[in-house]
Amino acid sequence: MEFTVSTDARLDVVDVTDRVAAAVEGEGEVEGTATVFVDHTTAGVVINEAEPRLLEDMRTFLSDLVPDEGWRHDELDGNADSHLRAMLLGPSATVPVVDGEPELGRWQSVLLVECDGPRERTVRVV
């Protein structure tokens, strides 16, 4: 199953938990794990709390950790910072599935982290 996510900013965080749940539920009463994967080199998938202030902190943290400019790859297409941020996050997260539903902790959400937006991203759940 896959779905598309539209992002609004160069560095954006989008809660995709409901869409992941819909993808898992569409598979029936399965048990095991689901991998949530974004097939792009400038976006990542993480599990964390979707509280708005924390999402802003994530954006600030990634911006502070990886400066926007000064990278050799920028000579090619100006988005080295996006690749480096996504590399730190990783392209996937694994979610336990119990009785056909994602088994996340009380405050856990599945988040798509956009590092080179705004764009449309494809997220796969397998």
Domains and CATH numbers, the chain: 2-125 (2.60.120.460)
pLDDT in tens, 25-82: 866 677 899 999 999 999 999 999 999 999 999 999 999 999 999 989 988 899 999 9
Q: How far is C-alpha 44 from the chain's CA centre?
A: 4
Q: State how far the Cα of 24 lies from the Cα of 46, in Å rounded to an integer.
A: 17
Q: What integer pLDDT is reported at residue 27 of this predicted model?
A: 65
Q: State how far the Cα of 33 lies from the Cα of 96, in Å rounded to an integer.
A: 4
Tokens of 41: 């080199």
Q: State how far the Cα of 103 lies from the Cα of 21, in Å rounded to an integer.
A: 9
CB 109 within 8 A of CB 49: yes
- When pLDDT is averaged across residues 1-26 and rounded to a whole number, the result is 95
Q: State how far the Cα of 112 lies from the Cα of 123, in Å rounded to an integer.
A: 9
Q: How far is C-alpha 16 from the chain's CA centre?
A: 8
Q: State how far the Cα of 126 lies from the Cα of 122, in Å rounded to an integer.
A: 13
**CB atoms closer than 10 angstroms to residue 47:** 16
